[in-house]
Amino acid sequence: MEWIIQSPGELRAIMPAFLQALGERRKIALHGEMGAGKTTFVKALCEHLGVQDNTSSPTFSLVNEYHYQAADGTDALVYHLDLYRLRNPQEAYDIGLDELMHDPWLCLVEWPQVAEAFFPENAARVEIEILGESMRRINLF
């Protein structure tokens, strides 16, 4: 599935279609160069889900956890990881990535390359491509 957005403000509008295309998959590898909008994408998804917490890049904490209320009224979680600073798969394992890949919650991972072996076979891949100053192409595989 592909979306072209003209500005970051349009991200929230694509989230219903994104979640529908995502289906039952809960693990998402976010690819894109620096400044492509990976964190902005996560913020838009969290806003759509109703996350009340302040969403920010987990560059220094590595893992952020956000709470929201699912459609059925139960508490749900979104994990947001930024693996940019990790040097090898062992460091990904040490922060608990293996466990996060086997729980039922949404897990969005920026810079997932160092830890691709941990992702389940059905993980989603999102590629964000810079087309202009604020224009982006978003592909879901």
Distance from CA of residue 9 to its chain's centroid? 17
DSSP sequence for 28-42: EEEE--TTSSHHHHH
Residue 94: inside a domain = yes
Residue 11: inside a domain = no
User: Mean pLDDT over all residues of the chain?
Assistant: 96
At 32 the pLDDT is 98
CA distance 43 to 123: 20
Q: Which residues contact 19 (CB under 8 A, 6 or more apart)?
A: 45, 48
Residue 7: inside a domain = no
Residue 140: inside a domain = no
At 13 the pLDDT is 97
Check pLDDT > 90 for residue 29: yes
Q: What is the DSSP letter of 21?
A: H
Check pLDDT > 80 for residue 60: no
Q: Range of 85's domain?
A: 25-123
Q: What's the whole-model pTM score?
A: 0.94
What average pLDDT does range 18-41 have in this prediction? 97
**Residues of the chain above pLDDT 90, percent:** 92
CA distance 16 to 90: 35
* CATH number (domain holding residue 36): 3.40.50.300
At 59 the pLDDT is 72
Residue 129: inside a domain = no
Residue 31: inside a domain = yes
What average pLDDT does range 6-12 have in this prediction? 95
Write out the E strands in the chain. Answer: 2-5, 27-31, 63-69, 75-82, 106-110, 124-130, 136-140
CA distance 107 to 85: 18
Residue 83: inside a domain = yes
CA distance 75 to 53: 14
Domain count, the chain: 1
Whole-number Cα distances in Å, 109 to 9, 16, 17, 61, 74: 21, 20, 20, 13, 24
State pLDDT tens for residues 67-122: 999 999 999 999 999 999 999 999 999 999 999 999 999 999 999 999 999 999 99
Residue 54 pLDDT class (50, 70, 90 cuts): confident
